[in-house]
Amino acid sequence: MGGVPVKHHSKGKVGRRRSHLALKKKSMLVCANCKGPKLGHRACIQCGATGKSQSA
Ligand SMILES: [Zn+2]
């Protein structure tokens, strides 16, 4: 059973609430290995480098 709205929410009130729902902007970084664009906290799309020095 779904909840029944007790009071009507105006467009402004709904919009204000939804102003917090937007996804955060993806932080695009430059790969230190191949200088290509990469996402933060992700391995590089092009060369797979994570930014950490890997021994293997
Ligand atoms: Zn790279």
How far apart are the CA of 7 and the centre of ligand 1, in A? 53
| pTM score above 0.85 | no
Ion ligand 1: residue ranges with CB closer than 5 A: 31, 33-34, 36, 44, 46-47, 49
How far apart are the CA of 23 and the centre of ligand 1, in A? 25
How far apart are the CA of 53 and the centre of ligand 1, in A? 13
- The DSSP secondary-structure symbol of 40 reads T
- pLDDT, tens digit, for every residue of 2-45? 788 888 999 999 999 999 888 877 788 888 889 988 887 888 88
